[in-house]
C-alpha cells in the first residue's frame, strides 16, 4: 500500500488559529497561573506552540494515555501509561488535546483530573471530529478546527508513530502499489 498525504490545514492556517486561541485563553485566565496538561504524544506540538503565545505564567505537565494501537480504529480501551508529575489540586488546568474523535479518551481523562479537585478545568483541542462521537458527556472549551471524518496526520498527529513532524495537517490516503 502506498501512502499519500493531502493538505487539509496549512501551516499558516494553524499559526493563525493558535494566535486566536491564545488570545481567548489569556482573556479567560486573566491574573491566573495556567497549568497546561498535554496528552502525549499527539498534543505536544500544539501545546508548545500555544504556550509560547500565552503571555502569562504557564506551567506544563504531561500525561500519556493509550486508546489506540498502530491502527486507525479506536480500541475503546484506555489506560494511563504516564500520570502527572505534580498535583493539580487548586490549580487552573487547561487540558490540551490533539483531537477529539469518539470522545472516550476525553471522558476518561476529564473524570481522572476532576477527581483531583483543580480550581478549574478547561479543555482545548486542536481538532474536533464530531461525526464519530460516542461519548458526548464532555465538550471542549476551545476548538482549533472542526474536521470531517477522515484520518488526519501531522502537527503532532501520527499514523503508526510517523508524520508527527509535518508542519501542516494532512489527510492520509492509501492506494494500491503500482
Ligand atoms: P477518542 O478517544 O476516540 O476521542 O480518541 C482520541 C485519540 O485518538 C486522539 O488523542 C488521537 O491520539 C487518536 N486519533 C483519533 N483520530 C485520529 C486521527 O484522525 N489521526 C490521528 N490520531 C487520531
Ligand atoms: Mg491523543
Instruction: Please list the pLDDT of the chain residue by residue as tens digits (178 residues).
Output: 888 999 999 999 999 999 999 999 999 999 999 999 999 999 999 999 999 999 999 999 999 987 655 455 555 556 789 999 999 999 999 999 999 998 888 888 898 899 999 999 999 999 999 998 887 678 899 999 999 999 999 999 999 999 999 999 999 998 887 6
Ligand nearest to the CA of 128: 1
Q: Report pTM.
A: 0.92
Specify the CATH number for the domain of residue 68. Answer: 3.40.50.2020
Residue 175 covered by a domain: no
Domain, as residue range, for 68: 12-148
Give the span between the Cα atoms of 14 and 22, in whole angstroms: 12
Q: At what angle do helices 11-28 and 44-53 cross, to 10 degrees?
A: 60
Residues 6+ apart with CB under 8 A from 113: 37, 88, 93, 95, 121
Residue 166 covered by a domain: no
Contact yes or no for 59/27 (Cβ under 8 A): no
Give the span between the Cα atoms of 87 and 152, in whole angstroms: 33
Q: What is the pLDDT of residue 174?
A: 87
Cβ–ligand 1 contact at 152 (below 6 Å): yes
Residue 163 covered by a domain: no
Contact yes or no for 170/6 (Cβ under 8 A): yes
Q: Which of 111, 104, 112 is nearest to 67 (CA)?
A: 104
Cβ–ligand 1 contact at 101 (below 6 Å): yes
Residue 172 covered by a domain: no
Cβ–ligand 1 contact at 103 (below 6 Å): yes
Cβ atoms < 10 Å from Cβ of 51: 19
**In the chain, how many domains are there?**
1
Residue 38 covered by a domain: yes
Rounded to the nearest angstrom, the distance between the alpha carbon of 90 and the centre of ligand 2 is 25
Rounded to the nearest angstrom, the distance between the alpha carbon of 32 and the centre of ligand 1 is 30
Closest atom of ligand 1 to 151 CA is 19
Cβ atoms < 10 Å from Cβ of 22: 18
Contact yes or no for 45/155 (Cβ under 8 A): yes
Contact yes or no for 159/173 (Cβ under 8 A): no
Cβ–ligand 1 contact at 105 (below 6 Å): yes
Amino acid at each position: 500500500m502506498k501512502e499519500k498525504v493531502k493538505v487539509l490545514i496549512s501551516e499558516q492556517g494553524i499559526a493563525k488559529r493558535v494566535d486566536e486561541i491564545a488570545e481567548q485563553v489569556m482573556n479567560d485566565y486573566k491574573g491566573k497561573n495556567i497549568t497546561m496538561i498535554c496528552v502525549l504524544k499527539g498534543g505536544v506540538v500544539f501545546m508548545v506552540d500555544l504556550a509560547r503565545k500565552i503571555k502569562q505564567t504557564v506551567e506544563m505537565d504531561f500525561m500519556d494515555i493509550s486508546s489506540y494501537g498502530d491502527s486507525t480504529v479506536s480500541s475503546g480501551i484506555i489506560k494511563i501509561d504516564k500520570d502527572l508529575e505534580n498535583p493539580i489540586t487548586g490549580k487552573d488546568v487547561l487540558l490540551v488535546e490533539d483531537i477529539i474523535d469518539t470522545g472516550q479518551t476525553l471522558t476518561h481523562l476529564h473524570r481522572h483530573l476532576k477527581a483531583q479537585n483543580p480550581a478549574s478545568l478547561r479543555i482545548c483541542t486542536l481538532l474536533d471530529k464530531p461525526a464519530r462521537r460516542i461519548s458526548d458527556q464532555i465538550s471542549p472549551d476551545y476548538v482549533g478546527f472542526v474536521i470531517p471524518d477522515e484520518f488526519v496526520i501531522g502537527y503532532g498527529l501520527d499514523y503508526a508513530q510517523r508524520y508527527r513532524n509535518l508542519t501542516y495537517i494532512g489527510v492520509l490516503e492509501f492506494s494500491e502499489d503500482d
